[in-house]
Amino acid sequence: MENNRFETPVTVKSVTAGSTQLLRSAREASDYLLNSWPGKRSAKHRAALQACHDALAGDKP
């Protein structure tokens, strides 16, 4: 079983891609942010990616 699973999955709706993605863990969220994010790589995007990486490294719950 994968660690860092979200208590409640996060739903991401992409208007530009016309799709909905259900993210169940920090690893899935990190992968989405790195490979599927349709928008600009803003400061908020970097902060979300850093939070995922910190969780995967065990630095955040």
Q: Is 18 left (phi over 0), alpha (psi -120 to 50) or beta?
A: left
User: What tens digit of pLDDT does each residue of 34-46 get?
Assistant: 998 888 899 999 9
Give the pair of three-digit tokens for residue 48.
């979300």
Whether the pTM exceeds 0.85: the reply is no
User: What tens digit of pLDDT does each residue of 45-58 get?
Assistant: 999 999 999 999 98
Domain with 52, as residue range(s), is 5-57
How many domains are there within the chain?
1
Q: What is the DSSP string of 14-43?
A: ETTTTEEEEEEEHHHHHHHHHHT--S---H
Cα separations in angstroms, 45 against 2, 12, 20, 36, 38: 23, 13, 18, 12, 11
